[in-house]
């Protein structure tokens, strides 16, 4: 019906919302221009997430029975936030604040999209930005990172983060909608330098808790570090983060493999 125009309308809604958000809400956090991707709700990769992640992982249809597409967006942090976290020990206050403020923005952005797309006669299902996971297994019932991968926003690094064309330092949000959108083409090569040609591994060195290995990830050790930061910064909000493995590394702000490929 929309002849491909709806993709641009949604992208513009997201970009403009994020652009205006800091001034309108007096945030300490600043964000770079978001990138947006789309996937078909019928994509069989969503079913596979029940095997890859957990049988409790939801499909778009389980969130919204009339779903036709998933909209996913990456919100890159401004460079000063990322660089502020490039030291040993606890997370920086700026990083913790960015986590809290970005989660709040994602909630507001999803509500905004729901209202705006409702004006076109469409329905959206809003998904929380985080804390929708099993606190024992530490597994989410809707992984924004995996959904972003299916939606063509990037590829996974060995730090388990999604590396986009604007790096991995930021937050991911998503909504499910009954709009039929043109899926974004997925990358045809690895953005992670280690996966591309084994030339990196800086993120492993950055993990002071030893939770991150080349082929192994200790979720509980990672979460212990996150909970420590949450306790330290409890006055800021729920800031169970660390972020050392994505702060000021080759893929923090860009897709580092792109230079080698070209």
Beta strands in the chain (DSSP E): 35-40, 69-76, 124-126, 133-134, 139-140, 154-156, 162-164, 170-177
Query: pTM for the full model?
Result: 0.94
> 33 versus 135: which is more confidently predicted?
33
- Phi, psi torsion values for 220, nearest 5 degrees: -70, -40
- What distance in Å separates the CA atoms of residue 225 and residue 228, rounded to the nearest whole number? 5
Q: Quick one: pLDDT at residue 3?
A: 43
- What distance in Å separates the CA atoms of residue 126 and residue 46, rounded to the nearest whole number? 17
Other Cβ atoms closer than 10 A to 120: 11
The rounded percent of the chain whose pLDDT value lies above 70 is: 95
> 181 versus 128: which is more confidently predicted?
181
> What is the average pLDDT score of the chain?
93
Report CA Rg, the chain: 18
Question: How do residues 51-68 score in pLDDT, each as one tens digit?
Answer: 998 888 999 999 999 999
Question: How do residues 165-215 score in pLDDT, each as one tens digit?
Answer: 999 999 999 999 999 999 999 999 999 999 999 999 999 999 988 899 988
Mean pLDDT to the nearest integer, 119-137:
76
Closest CA to 151 of 70, 254, 44: 70
Question: How do residues 230-250 score in pLDDT, each as one tens digit?
Answer: 999 999 999 999 999 999 999
Q: Quick one: pLDDT at residue 137?
A: 55
Residue 31 has pLDDT above 80, yes or no: yes
Mean pLDDT to the nearest integer, 29-54:
96
Question: How do residues 86-110 score in pLDDT, each as one tens digit?
Answer: 999 999 999 999 999 999 999 999 9
The rounded percent of the chain whose pLDDT value lies above 90 is: 83
Instruction: Quickly state the pLDDT bin for 130 (edges 50, 70, 90).
Output: low
């Amino acid at each position: 019906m929309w002849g491909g125009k709806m993709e641009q309308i949604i992208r513009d809604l997201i970009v403009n919302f994020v652009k205006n958000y800091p001034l309108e809400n007096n945030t300490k956090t600043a964000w770079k221009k978001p990138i947006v991707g789309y996937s078909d709700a019928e994509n069989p990769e969503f079913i596979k997430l029940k095997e890859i992640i957990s049988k409790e992982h939801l499909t778009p249809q389980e969130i919204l029975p009339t779903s036709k597409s998933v909209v996913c967006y990456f919100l890159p942090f401004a460079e000063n936030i990322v660089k502020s976290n490039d030291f040993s020990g606890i997370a920086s206050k700026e990083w913790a604040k960015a986590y809290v403020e970005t989660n709040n923005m994602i909630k507001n952005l999803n509500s905004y999209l729901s209202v705006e797309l409702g004006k076109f006669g469409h329905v959206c299902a809003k998904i929380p930005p985080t804390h929708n996971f099993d606190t024992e297994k530490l597994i989410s019932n809707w992984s924004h990172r995996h959904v972003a991968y299916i939606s063509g926003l990037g590829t996974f690094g060995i730090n388990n983060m999604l590396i986009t064309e604007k790096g991995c330092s930021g937050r991911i949000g998503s909504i499910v909608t009954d709009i039929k959108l043109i899926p974004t083409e997925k990358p045809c090569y690895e953005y992670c330098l280690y996966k591309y040609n084994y030339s990196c591994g800086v993120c492993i060195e950055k993990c002071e808790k030893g939770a991150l290995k080349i082929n192994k990830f200790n979720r509980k050790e990672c979460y212990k570090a996150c909970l420590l930061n949450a306790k330290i910064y409890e006055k800021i909000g729920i800031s169970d983060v660390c972020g050392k493995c994505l702060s000021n590394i080759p893929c923090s702000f860009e897709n580092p493999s792109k230079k080698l490929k070209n």
